[in-house]
Amino acid sequence: MLKILDLFLLALIAEGVDTPYRWQRQAAVSTGASLPSIRRLAALGLVREAEPGPRGSRRFSLTRAGRSELQDITQCVETAMQKEVQDVETLVRLVALAYARGKRDLATELLKQSALDRQRHIGRQERSLSYSLPGNVAEFYSKVIAQFEVGRQEAAIRTINLLVSNINVEARRKTTSRKRSGKGRE
């Protein structure tokens, strides 16, 4: 089974973002993460590497099998929804894949699920938090880190809710635009 990063790279290549340099510059995917993934994809016959370009640049293209693998993003996202996706990069890659494939409802559903998961995580964290600072180093460190984690999760939830709102606004705007253009033809 392919990893989320593997599918994300396939989607990038399909859109013409086809070199490790461009993955890093345009999609913030580090070379350290992308190269093992691209090796996996090549070994599976999903991508093909072109002849090295200037200064040894590497360019990749999808094979027929690679294009086929991209066809059912829905299954990948639905599988991910069965688990808690805590890693923000994985969450955003999944949402980007669904959104780019026109699966906006699935993208917002995944975001909402992630916000709920994070809220549950905060609840568990807050029950164990004590806001009095202990005197020893280990307890001090672990309690302060736990407090920062709650703040990080709260910030992630705010960002997720904003993204859901933006996706919904864009969907309504497109629907309104289509209705207006349809009425103009009557």
* 82-98 pLDDT tens trace: 877 878 999 999 999 99
- Asked whether 5 and 29 are in contact (CB, 8 A), the reply is yes
Domain ranges of the chain: 4-71, 74-184
The CATH classification of domain 4-71, taken from the options 3.40.50.720, 1.10.150.120, 3.90.1150.10, 1.10.10.10: 1.10.10.10
pTM for the model: 0.79
What is the Cα–Cα distance from 47 to 42, expressed in whole angstroms?
5
pLDDT in tens, 19-60: 999 999 999 999 999 999 999 999 999 999 988 777 778 999
How far is it, in rounded angstroms, from Cα 122 to Cα 149? 8
Q: Which residues pair with 12 in a beta bridge?
A: none
